Amino acid sequence: MTEPRIQKERRDFLTERAIRFFDCYGEELESISQLLKIRLDQLASAYTVENKLPRKAVVVQSRVKSLASFLRKLEKTDWPMFGYPTEVITDLIGARVICWFVDDCYGMLDYIQATTQFRIQPRSLEDYIIDPKRTGYRAIHLLADVSYDRVKTYRERRIVVEDRMICEIQIRTKLQNAWAEFTHEVHCKIPSEFQADYETTITEIARRLAAEDRSALAVREILQSQTEKNELEDFRND
């Protein structure tokens, strides 16, 4: 059997396995994604209250990687064998915590690490804010096991058991998120002969946005001062 034929059979086999998985577990994955968002939203709510910030200063988004995106990932990694998708990817379910201010990225990281709702994977923390990627990409990445209730059949009875799903959490500022979305959209449209100039440009944009993130901390102080003033006036009016 020739090598191209073996590769095609492997690709077809894994594609069919992925399709069956998403057909069978798609709704369960969406439920876990929503659970992840709810738990992070609870932390964001507590954090903004504690730090005297508007609730919208920290927002959470979550998503399940689509079948098409998963297949593209398999193709990029030369179609590795898997029994369960999380054996070959760690971001089947992911969340973004988007903060107005860079200091709050680290504040939310502290909250996520402190809560018992997540079990952080050892050595999974990657701080691209302190150590940006070559392109200028900045964010904090970590992997967390998220517990959830799963229904399974045991001796012809359906029972509820605790299970865990590995999820990727990214924490970034609003400016970092705008840069990431912009470069994601335009990257594939840049002709190869202009790739070097493009990379130089986006790296410089990322550097300037990082400086603006630091400047924006003055706005954070203004918001906190206003909240303290409002709280004092409410206290005096009681």
How confident is the model over 109-131, as pLDDT tens digits?
999 999 999 999 999 999 999 99
Report residue 48's pLDDT band, with 50, 70 and 90 as the boundaries: very high
Task: Write the single-letter amino acid at 128.
Answer: Y
pTM of the complete model:
0.90
DSSP state, residue 188: G
Query: Where residue 132 sits, what CATH number does that domain have?
Result: 3.30.460.10
Number of domains, the chain: 1
**Is pLDDT above 70 for 143?**
yes
For 135, the domain range is 3-237
What would the 3-class secondary structure string for 13-50 be?
HHHHHHHHHHHHHHHHHHHHHHHHHHHHHHHHHHHHHH
Report residue 93's pLDDT band, with 50, 70 and 90 as the boundaries: very high
Dihedral over Cα of 49, 51, 52, 54: its sign: negative
How confident is the model over 147-204, as pLDDT tens digits?
988 777 777 788 888 788 999 999 999 999 999 999 999 988 999 999 999 999 999 9
